[in-house]
Homo-oligomer: A and B are copies of this chain.
Amino acid sequence: MLNVIKIGGNILDNEEAFSRFLEAFSKLEGEKILVHGGGKIATEIGHKLDVEANYINGRRVTGDDTLKLVTMVYAGLINKNIVAQLQSFNCNALGLTGADGNAIIAKKRPVGDVDYGFVGDVVAVNGLLLKQLLDAEITPVLAPITHDAKGGLLNTNADTIAQEVAKAMSQYIEVSLVYGFEKDGVLKDANVDSSVIPVIEVNDFDQLVADGVISGGMIPKLQNACSAIRAGVKQVIIGNALQLNNIINGEKGTIIK
């Protein structure tokens, strides 16, 4: 089983917690791929560089300056520090953007009501490259930057990258797609941390939404999870990144299958 693990949310901003996550990740047996998001540091550094974050519908609008900023911070600062830390934990990590080895091609999002700028929607994942790296006992670490194959880099949502990578790898091996964040899983009641729903069957999803058991921001996340499973991914796990072993073992978190 290949674990494709996406790490995001506040944990990236907490150096000590993040290091604990990386140590746990490095100790996971079997093949694994890490996908990371950005964190607050891009906003902080952008502030110093007079590149202000601009969000529309929860997505960062990526102008020329913002593209440079996220390329520096995501592909440089964050990615390389993750890789160096994993190496210190004896995990042979190798950092990639979508441009590296043509790992992920994307298409600039068409301008509709909103122009998101240099934001890319994934077109193709080079599963063969990732497989070759895994076969060589290398652990790919993906930054949320893709390329358009015409020389341009594109800012791309890390959740989507994880999902597309998981789908692409499913043709080679059984894949478990893991979303690690600061909550304990999908909650029945967003205000009650202990209200984790342990298992969601894809076929029950629509009914759970209709019944109001699943609501709010979790709906699109779970729709993506269901679509990944329909595309061949074995299971999707959503849970606390600091309980990595427990959520992968199925002891904690929410499993969608």
Residues on A facing B (Cβ under 8 Å): 45, 48-50, 68, 71-77, 79-81, 83-85, 87-88, 92-97, 99-102, 129, 132, 136, 138, 145, 147, 149-153
Chain B's closest residue to A51 (CB) is B48
Q: Which residues of B contact A99 (CB under 8 A)?
A: 80, 83-84, 87, 93, 95
Q: Which residues of B contact A72 (CB under 8 A)?
A: 45, 72-73, 76-77
Inter-subunit contact B87/A149 (CB<8 Å) = yes
Inter-subunit contact A151/B87 (CB<8 Å) = yes
Q: Which residues of B contact A85 (CB under 8 A)?
A: 151
Most chain B beta carbons < 10 A, residue from A72, A76, A79 = A76
Inter-subunit contact B81/A71 (CB<8 Å) = yes
Q: Which residues of B contact A77 (CB under 8 A)?
A: 68, 71-72, 76
Q: Which residues of B contact A92 (CB under 8 A)?
A: 101-102
Number of copies of chain A assembled together: 2
Q: Which residues of B contact A45 (CB under 8 A)?
A: 49, 72
Inter-subunit contact A84/B147 (CB<8 Å) = yes
Interchain residue pairs A-B with the least CB separation, the first 10? A76-B76, A88-B151, A72-B72, A72-B76, A94-B101, A84-B99, A75-B76, A94-B100, A83-B99, A84-B147
In the complex, besides A72-B73, A83-B99, 11 extra interface pairs with C-beta distance below 8 angstroms are A75-B76, A76-B77, A80-B153, A81-B153, A84-B147, A84-B151, A85-B151, A87-B99, A93-B101, A94-B101, A132-B136
Q: How far is the CA of A92 from the CA of B128 in the complex (A)?
A: 13
Q: Which residues of B contact A79 (CB under 8 A)?
A: 75-76
Q: Which residues of B contact A95 (CB under 8 A)?
A: 97, 99-100
Q: Would you give 25 A-B contacts (Cβ < 8 Å), ordered by A?
A: A45-B49, A48-B48, A48-B49, A68-B77, A71-B80, A72-B76, A73-B76, A75-B79, A76-B76, A76-B79, A80-B97, A80-B99, A80-B100, A81-B153, A83-B97, A83-B100, A84-B147, A84-B152, A84-B153, A87-B147, A88-B151, A93-B99, A93-B100, A94-B100, A129-B136
